Amino acid sequence: MHFLDRRVLLISGKGGVGRTTVAVALARAAARAGKRTLVCEIANPEGGPSAIGRLLGVRDVGPEPQLVEHNLDVCHLWARSGHEGFLRSVLPGKTLIRAALRSKAVDKFLTAAPSFHEMGVFHHLLSLVEAEQKGRRRYDLTVLDMPATGHTLALTGLPDILLRLMPAGPIAALLRRGQAILNDPAQGAAWVVTLPEQLPVTEAIELLDGLAETHMPAGGVLLNRMPSDPFTAPERAAVERWLDGTDGVFGEVAFRRIEAAEQARARLTAAVEAPVLDLPETDADDPVPGLVEALARHMADGGAR
């Protein structure tokens, strides 16, 4: 099975590793490969500019999907939209819904109750993944730029936790529908973005473990900003011997960096069963196009299953 042949891809990882850049590049690569794709991020309840919007050149990213380019839509996931959608699905009649939405008590409950932020996000995500248009599924693929690690696990772990509290009723039904998609390895996968350095690699391994505990299938690891290695193994050994006999030459730092990246990569591939795909260091001012190209190459040669 091709690594993009899923309905939902969650792009996770520690902040600063390039999660957002990679999510946008992946969505664009998928759209160009002919998939009707939605890329989204979880809106910050405190507002602030959209990171995916900036990379895609869209000013006002909102909770409704908007077209960016052929086959590619963008939107925010709003806990609020999810809560509204949920009330609409369980309350009979418009009057009651309107009253509930206007109620301060309901509002307080929805924003303050533990897990209800995630619950709203979850509902909004599910409504987009299940959305239909002209009698067929609106999107082939939804790519979600996940928040920081703790919030990622709060979201992927939500169904299990809430189902233990409320095994029956409309919320339970919704959570089970979500699980049936997200936790099915044929439909959902989480990819961890990380860097070829010791600490980020350790964090990526831990995040994969955390995801597995929440029953989220692992797609694999996207090893971002992998320096390109111009050396063959014998050449590398020769340079190594030569460097050991000198003290401090130009190029040594770059050479050592490649070496450290290779070591970090080796440790990662030894520790995880899931595939590891390299993504190159690209143009610092405009990293998306180079990543789209690299991802298209992975797609062409099968990359991961």
Residues that bind Mg ion (CB under 5 A): 19-20, 51
- CB burial class (10 A; 0-12, 13-18, 19+) of residue 283? exposed
Residue placing its CB nearer to Mg ion in the complex, 49 or 289: 49
| 221 interacts with ligand ADP by CB under 6 A | no
Which of ligand ADP, Mg ion, none does 200 bind, CB closer than 5 to 8 A by kind? none
| 281 interacts with ligand ADP by CB under 6 A | yes
Which of Mg ion, ligand ADP, none does 197 bind, CB closer than 5 to 8 A by kind? none
Which of ligand ADP, Mg ion, none does 196 bind, CB closer than 5 to 8 A by kind? none
| 279 interacts with ligand ADP by CB under 6 A | yes
Contact 25, 295 (CB under 8 A): yes
Task: List, in sequence order, every residue forming a beta bridge with 137; answer none if it has no partner.
Answer: 132
**Chain residue whose CB lies nearest Mg ion:** 20
Q: Which stretch binds ligand ADP (CB under 6 A): 63-71, 202-210, 239-247, 279-287?
A: 279-287
Residue 18 CB, shortest distance to Mg ion, in Å, is 8
Contact 229, 35 (CB under 8 A): no
- How many chain residues bind ligand ADP (CB under 6 A)? 16
| 210 interacts with ligand ADP by CB under 6 A | no
Residue 263 CB, shortest distance to ligand ADP, in Å, is 19
> How far is residue 32's CA from residue 148's CA, in Å, rounded to a whole number?
28
Tokens 């999107």, located at residue: 139
Residue placing its CB nearer to ligand ADP in the complex, 17 or 171: 17
Residue placing its CB nearer to ligand ADP in the complex, 85 or 219: 219
Interacting positions 19-38 with ligand ADP (CB under 6 A): 19-21
Please list, in sequence order, all residues whose beta carbon lies within 8 angstroms of the beta carbon of residue 148, skipping any fewer than 6 positions away. 14, 15
The amino acid that residue 53 corresponds to is G
Residue placing its CB nearer to ligand ADP in the complex, 80 or 225: 225
Residue placing its CB nearer to ligand ADP in the complex, 12 or 156: 12
Q: Which of 71, 81, 194, 224 is the binder for ligand ADP (CB under 6 A)?
A: 224
What is the Cα gyration radius of the chain?
A: 22
Q: What HEC string does 102-157 produce?
A: HCHHHHHHHHHCCCHHHHHHHHHHHHHHCCEECCEECCCEEEEECCCHHHHHHHHC
Under DSSP, is residue 14 helix (H, G, I), strand (E, B) or coil? Answer: coil
Task: List, in sequence order, every residue forming a beta bridge with 133; answer none if it has no partner.
Answer: 136
Residue 154 CB, shortest distance to ligand ADP, in Å, is 18
Which of ligand ADP, Mg ion, none does 21 bind, CB closer than 5 to 8 A by kind? ligand ADP
Interacting positions 38-97 with ligand ADP (CB under 6 A): none
> How far is residue 267's CA from residue 203's CA, in Å, rounded to a whole number?
12
Which uninterrupted H or E stretch holds 269? helix 252-271
Which uninterrupted H or E stretch holds 27? helix 19-32
Q: What residue ranges bind ligand ADP (CB under 6 A)?
A: 13, 15-21, 224-225, 279, 281-282, 284, 287, 291
